[in-house]
A and B are shown apart, each in its own frame.
Chain A
Amino acid sequence: MAIEERNIDPESGERTDEAPVSHAVVQTGIGPSNNLVPKTDEMMLNMGPQHPSTHGVLRVLLELDGEVVRKAIPDLGYLHRGVEKLGEYRMYNQFVPWTDRTDYVAAFTGNLAFVQAVEKLMGLEIPERALYLRVIFSELQRLASHLLWLGTHVMDLGAITVFLYSMREREAILDLLEMQTGARLTLNAQRVGGFPKDIPPGFLEKLEAFLAIMPGRLTEYDMLLAENPIFLRRVKGVGVMSAEDAIQWGATGPTLRGSGVAYDVRKAVPYAAYDRLDFEVPIGTHGDVYDRFLVRMEEMRQSLKLIRQAVDQLPGGPVMTGDIRVALPGKEATMTSIEAMQRHFILVIHGFRAPIGEYYSAVESPKGELGWYIVSTGENHAYRARNRAPSFVNLQALPLMCEGGMVSDVIANIGSIDIVLGEVDR
């Protein structure tokens, strides 16, 4: 007898939830009692923490009914390092390298979010050139992050070719970041008050070369994916999230915009030089995986547009604020004036003190709204450094996207949220 038939009540014709009673068990009295007979069609499945498609050490506990996901329970914390606790013990500039290690595929925006929160807490004026450079590097970092997302997300869905191409372009961006900072992932590119050094000679030429090839490469990805029937079947209508749900669950970034809400920190609370640049915020219409894919693809084009404008408008001048509360006196002054040298030592050894107060400041990281809430009691370190991590909050919407869908769609959904576990667990 088939499982379906056995579970149907012969008199009423309705499906019963209890498992069918085995006559053998009843007659002999040996074996499990009726309520302990397992339902043969339900199963708990551990996905992760060592699963290549969870993009890190994410564990999702799936309650399956055949191939259908009844319940998805994310389990976090495998990469928890206590970044917020460390933020209470490290001086402001000492803590900047830690912000690299939260969202480690977009270290620049991580730096910027923290540094900007401290700057606003202190009321610092940042020179124009630094603001434009922040736009250039933020958008380069967004491109690098989205390219990594594109490669891995699409590879999870079976299209391996795109990964090779997107990593090629990401490599070019990492080379540019390396020219500026000497590092490829953990950049530590900024200090409170601006940049520790200006862009090196030859940087803009290399950037121009990148800007010249990149639009063509984006078209190349579209050719590989836009009419690929396998890819479209995997992403269209999958993981649908309405705009109301997305706002309720606190989603930000492309995860929110895919559902049709045009909220972007760069437009809502402009920072750096974004209020002087022209760009659009792409939004989706259905809120499925495909829309989130399209939003990120269009964001890459907008990023190129932003870099183009920022390079054209890039003003001259210093890249570090002149406010001597935070700025080092400079090599020449340090070597010629004893007071400047003392000042240099004090800034390096003791750091600077922020006024008593609290500030919440956010940037639009590639993942969403990346905010820092800093409480200062007038010390040279934060009394409380709270990281509002977009991946952490966006991941809350995963059960909503997965439940009722197929088990293979879980992978598409995780990829479409674009989480980084360093940021989820902090």
Chain B
Amino acid sequence: MADSYVPFRGKFVPPPEGVDPEEHIAVQKLRAQMPEAIEEVSSFRDQVTVRLYKEYLVEACLFLRDTPGLDFDFLTDLTAVDYPSRAKRFDVVTHLYSMTQNHLLRVKVAVAENESLPTISTIWKAANWEEREAFDMFGIVFDGHPDLRRILLPEDWEGFPLRKDYPLAGYGTYTS
């Protein structure tokens, strides 16, 4: 009786397999041109992530934008992710897209809490407000940004809401 009983349970889900990140044309060209800039490459499903060292960020971004065949002329999105347990707690995540080549690349840079990183709003102007938002929500400072102020929150707001240690209801409410 026990053998014939089949419980109602989810089917086994294999871990997702990504594409080989080394096959992405941007990774190949970056590896050839400036191998020292790449910390690691990874992929999830069909999307490829390149983790760069902070020192090479601007140089690598200019390379990605201006190299024929890559032509990342469009900054889709720039944001950050907070991992409080890591030594460098913030990942600044940039999604780059090429209008002409129709490919996407995710670029990550790790930044510690008291560190700053160079702005890329000089390369793609679209990064201007996106970096302001990352500063507003995470307190990440972008060196050389033309107008680094809070954008969504009031100027006198305390704390950075999208950090993981910031409570959902905020400070000063009945929950805290």
Contact = CB atoms under 8 A, between A and B. Distances in A.
A325 B130 CA distance: 35
A359 B47 contact: yes
Main secondary structure of the interface of B (DSSP, over half): loop
A360 to B, nearest CB: 6
13 contacts: A85-B168, A86-B168, A249-B125, A250-B124, A325-B13, A355-B13, A358-B44, A359-B44, A359-B47, A369-B76, A373-B77, A396-B128, A425-B152
B129 to A, nearest CB: 5
A50 to B, nearest CB: 17
Nearest to B79: A386
A340 interface: yes
Interface string A51-88: 00000000000000000000000001100101011100
Contacts of A77: 150-154
B45 A123 contact: yes
Contacts of B9: 339
A383 B164 CA distance: 10
Contacts of B10: 324-325
Interface in A320-365: 323-325, 329, 337, 339-340, 342-343, 355, 357-360, 362
Contacts of A337: 8
Interface stretch (B21-29, B98-106, B110-118): B98-106
B162 interface: yes
B42 to A, nearest CB: 9
Interface of A: 76-77, 80, 82, 84-86, 89, 120, 123, 247-250, 261, 263, 268-269, 323-325, 329, 337, 339-340, 342-343, 355, 357-360, 362, 369, 371, 373, 375, 383-384, 386, 388, 392-393, 396, 425-426
A360 B154 contact: no
B93 A247 contact: no
B8 A339 contact: yes
A248 B128 CA distance: 11
B99 A261 contact: yes
Contacts of A358: 44, 47, 49, 106
Contacts, number: 102
Interface string B41-66: 00011010100000000000000000
B15 interface: yes
Contacts of B125: 248-250, 396
B76 A371 contact: yes
Interface in B64-91: 73-77, 79, 81-82
Contacts of A392: 129
B145 interface: no
A383 B99 CA distance: 30
B28 to A, nearest CB: 21
